[in-house]
């Protein structure tokens, strides 16, 4: 999910960046009264994300445009599928075209990559979650794209939960002390996660009452030991160095969540075009 008000402000920034003072090509070639009709189509198989945002780009720049969305976020479509139809003043369509395509290509790329990872761990109890390694300014939308692909969101920002890492533990004097400090001031509905890279730390985190334990860069055999020891007393998240080739084995250890930045940082944009209808 994403906030429409915040998205509109982003769209204004995107259009301002791309247009500058004016779309010179359109201004010298296209007459104000000329019209056009185009369709946005998938040029490869993909999971759709951001199509309503693309429609908003067109409407924001030229309110007179008639924009019809023909696919929904989360849809799995094949090459040739029509995602959106836009018609009306040609100047508006051609000026906003690239901005609309850029965002839906990027978000659909993330959704498609997420779905690829989700598919490979089907049949296990593990759920795929994202990280805060997102494009600055686009986190809200990129995390929306992850959910379109079947993944879950981790923290949206630093204010969404407590993540106790090694440096926090060092300053506080231990995992028990760090968790106790956090509990003193923590909002009652907010969770505490503790990052552990050794089994003895997992034991300490369980004893301290952590809500979630991150198994950071642990080998698969150690993850299995951690799962057996915890025995459902708290949630376990595997993180660090997760790759498509290794995620199935990690999911089969019995962890609850697997987090990776690959689905946002490394996702390629998909091929979507705007062609004459």
3-state SS record for the chain: CCCHHHHHHHHHHHHHHHHCCCCHHHHHHCCCCCEEEEEEEECCCEECCCHHHHHHHHHHHCCCCEEEECCCCCCEECCCCEEEEEEEEHHHHHHHHHHHHHHHHHHHHHHHHHHHHHHHCCCCCCEEECCCCCCCCCHHHHHHHHHHCCCECCCCCHHHCEEECHHHHHHHCCHHHHHHHHHHHCCCCCCEEEEECCHHHHHHHHHHCCCEEEEECCCHHHHHHHHHHHCCCCEEEEECCCCCCCHHHHHCCCCCEEECCHHHHCCCCCCEEEEEC
For the annotated catalytic residues, the residue numbers are: 98, 133, 165, 195, 216
Domains of the chain: 4-114+268-276 (3.90.1170.20), 119-265 (3.20.20.70)
pTM of the model as a whole: 0.95
- pLDDT at residue number 1: 76
**Mean pLDDT of successive 10-residue segments in the chain (277 residues)?**
92 97 95 96 98 98 98 98 98 98 98 98 98 96 98 94 95 96 93 96 97 97 98 97 96 98 97 96
């Amino acid at each position: 999910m994403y906030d429409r008000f915040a998205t509109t402000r982003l769209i204004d920034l995107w259009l301002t960046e791309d247009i500058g003072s004016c779309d010179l090509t359109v201004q010298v070639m296209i007459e104000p009264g000329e019209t056009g009709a185009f369709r946005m189509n998938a040029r490869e198989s993909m999971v759709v994300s951001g199509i309503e945002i693309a429609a908003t780009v067109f409407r924001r720049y030229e309110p007179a445009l008639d924009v019809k969305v023909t696919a929904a976020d989360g849809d799995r479509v094949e090459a040739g599928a029509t995602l959106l139809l836009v018609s009306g003043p040609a100047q508006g369509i051609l000026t906003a075209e690239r901005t609309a395509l850029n965002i839906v290509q990027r978000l659909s790329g993330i959704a498609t990559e997420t779905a690829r990872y989700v598919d490979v761990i089907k049949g296990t109890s593990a759920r795929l979650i994202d990280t805060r390694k997102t494009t600055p300014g686009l986190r809200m939308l990129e995390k929306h794209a992850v959910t379109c692909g079947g993944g879950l969101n981790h923290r949206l920002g630093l204010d969404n939960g407590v993540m106790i890492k090694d440096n926090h533990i060092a300053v506080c004097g231990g995992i028990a002390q760090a968790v106790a400090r956090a509990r003193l001031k923590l909002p009652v509905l907010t969770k505490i996660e503790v990052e552990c890279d050794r089994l003895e730390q997992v034991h300490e985190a369980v004893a301290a009452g952590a809500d979630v334990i991150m198994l950071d860069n642990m080998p698969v055999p150690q993850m299995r030991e951690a799962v057996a020891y915890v025995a459902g007393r708290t949630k376990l998240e595997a993180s660090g160095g997760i790759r498509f080739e290794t995620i199935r084995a990690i999911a089969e250890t019995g962890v609850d969540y697997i987090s990776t930045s690959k689905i946002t940082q490394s996702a390629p944009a998909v091929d979507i075009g705007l062609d004459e209808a």
